[in-house]
Amino acid sequence: MELFEQLWTGSGLAQISLGQAAMIAVSLLLLYLAVAKKFEPLLLVTIGFGGLLSNIPGVEIATGDGLLHLIYLIGIETGAFPLLIFMGVGAMTDFGPVLANPKTFLLGAAAQFGIFATLLGAVAMSSLGWMEFSMSQAAAIGIIGGADGPTAIFVAGKLAPELLGAIAIAAYSYMALVPIIQPPIMRALTSERERAIEMVQLREVSQLEKIVFPLLLLLLVAFLLPSAAPLLGMFCFGNLMRECGVVDRLADTTRNALINIVTIMLGLGVGSKLQAENFLTAQTLGILVLGMLAFSIGTASGVLMAKLMNRLSSTPINPLIGAAGVSAVPMAARVVNKVGLEANSQNYLLMHAMGPNVAGVIGSAVAAGLMIMLVGS
């Protein structure tokens, strides 16, 4: 009898708390969304499973010398994993569309307005006593508006590690929901005639331009805003490997094997922070609401900037491509193309939308560097 009692008290069933049970349910929901609905499966599968392991009572894998905690310390607390992800993304990115139409840089910049609007929103909520967010926490939450998961994780790890789990879940959830969130905003801000606008064919970009651009971009941004150099530097390095043509093996490894391995580690590390005591708070709800607000404002500001540019430009600009200024590559560009085809079956906007989409990645990295410089201690 005593042995049975010892076995029972040592079991997870006897030790589980209501909060842990709730977080196990949340983790299973993330796995369901990833597997059944295909919402960001590469990240949500690993984050969900990491959260599952972290909330089973008696399994000390996410604390002390546990594997998930060590992964978090090595790769996320140091910022290494998001930087390696950016290198892989750079190796997959073609700067051709943005070089062919440099005006789209403005759309990538405009879509980052949601980041700063949400920062002000978080500060306002704290001032009104609705939520308690420090300036560092507000800055980390605002980055969700860029719809760029690695950047959000990098900034949260630097400015608000205690909110990392909630911020990562919000960032990747809204990235996955791009096809649901963006179209209503795009349709509300544009007319049928504007959505049907056909854009002129992009010029062909030379290989020399593609090689020189990442070098110039890095030097320009790094000298003006050194805190943005780590993210942008790895992004530009990955892109240089892709375009220079002499390190194809390295470029292939970076955009395939390496980024896949790091994605697994990153997801498990983030999942280790989905512990009940950190996640089940009023702040988490505030983060989810502010994240949605940030993403919506970013989409709207990109569309409105594109409408303005269409009025002022000598060549037609479809306002829909402004929505691609958020950093969800290439999902946002695909959504723009889909909505454009609904208005005009001959209107293929994908390559035009990739310009602001790539510019959005650069914009979110610059915004992240600015936040770290202004708010980071």
DSSP class per residue in 140-185: HHHGGGG--HHHHHHHHHHH-GGGHHHHHHHHHHHHHTHHHHHHHH
- Give the CA dihedral 271, 272, 276, 277, nearest 10 degrees: -130
The confidence score (pLDDT) of residue 164 equals 84
Q: Using the predicted structure, report yes or no on whether residue 123 has a pLDDT greater than 90.
A: no
Name the least confident of 153-157, 167-171, 250-254, 316-320. Answer: 167-171
| Residue keyed to tokens 């010398």 | 65
Q: Which of 289, 314, 361, 334 is nearest to 186 (CA)?
A: 334
**Domain range holding 347?**
20-375
Residue with the larger pLDDT of the pair 263 and 179: 263
Helix axes 259-271, 164-176, angle to 10 degrees: 130
Please give the pLDDT value at position 246: 96
In this prediction, residues 58-77 reach a mean pLDDT of 87
Average pLDDT over residues 339-366: 89
Alpha-carbon distance of 165 to 267, in angstroms, equals 10
pLDDT at 180: 84
Q: Exposed (0-12), middle (13-18) or buried (19+): which is 338, by Cβ within 10 Å?
A: middle
Look at residue 66 and tell me if it is in a domain: yes
Q: What is the pLDDT of residue 8?
A: 61
pLDDT at residue 11, as a whole number: 61
Q: What percent of the chain has pLDDT over 70?
A: 96
Query: For residues 253 and 64, what is the distance between their CA atoms, to the nearest angstrom?
Result: 33
Mean predicted confidence (pLDDT) in 133-146: 85
How high is the pLDDT of residue 201? Answer: 80
DSSP 8-state assignment for residue 227:
G
Region 183-207: what's the mean pLDDT? 91
pLDDT for the residue numbered 188: 94
* Res. 2: pLDDT tops 80: no
Is the pLDDT assigned to residue 99 strictly greater than 60? yes
Please give the average per-residue pLDDT across 171-197, as a whole number: 87
Q: Evaluate whether 153 touches 168 at the Cβ level (below 8 Å).
A: yes
Q: Identify whether 328 is part of a domain.
A: yes
Residue 89 lies in a domain: yes
Q: Which of 83-87, 255-259, 350-354 bottoms out in mean pLDDT, i.e. has the lowest?
A: 350-354
What pLDDT shows up at residue 200?
A: 84
| pLDDT score recorded for residue 326 | 85
Per the domain annotation, does 211 fall within a domain? yes
Q: Does residue 9 fall inside a structural domain?
A: no
The confidence score (pLDDT) of residue 320 equals 93
pLDDT at 377 over 60: no
**How open is the CA angle 253-254-255, to the nearest 5 degrees?**
95
CA distance 108 to 113: 10
Q: Across all residues in the chain, what is the average pLDDT? A: 88
Domain count of the chain? 1
Comparison of pLDDT for 124 and 240, the residue scoring more: 240
Least trusted range by pLDDT, from 11-15, 198-202, 249-253, 345-349: 11-15
Pick the range with the lowest mean pLDDT from 186-190, 286-290, 300-304.
Answer: 286-290
Is 6 a member of any domain?
no
Q: Specify the higher pLDDT residue, 148 or 35.
A: 35
Confidence (pLDDT) at 9 = 64
- Residue pointed to by tokens 């790769």: 75
Q: How many CA within 13 A on the CB side of residue 289?
A: 10
Would you say residue 175 has pLDDT above 90?
Answer: no
**Cα-based angle 87, 173, 135 (whole degrees, multiple of 5):** 80
What are the tens digits of pLDDT across the range 5-64?
Answer: 666 666 666 667 888 899 999 999 989 988 998 887 888 899 899 999 999 887 788 888
Per the domain annotation, does 4 fall within a domain?
A: no
Could you tell me if residue 14 is inside a domain? no
Give yes or no for a contact between 147 and 168, defined as CB atoms under 8 angstroms apart: no
> Among residues of the chain, what percentage have pLDDT more than 90?
38
> Over 90: is that where the pLDDT of 88 sits?
yes
- pLDDT reported for residue 121: 83
Q: With bands split at pLDDT 50, 70 and 90, how would you rate the model's confidence at 306?
A: very high
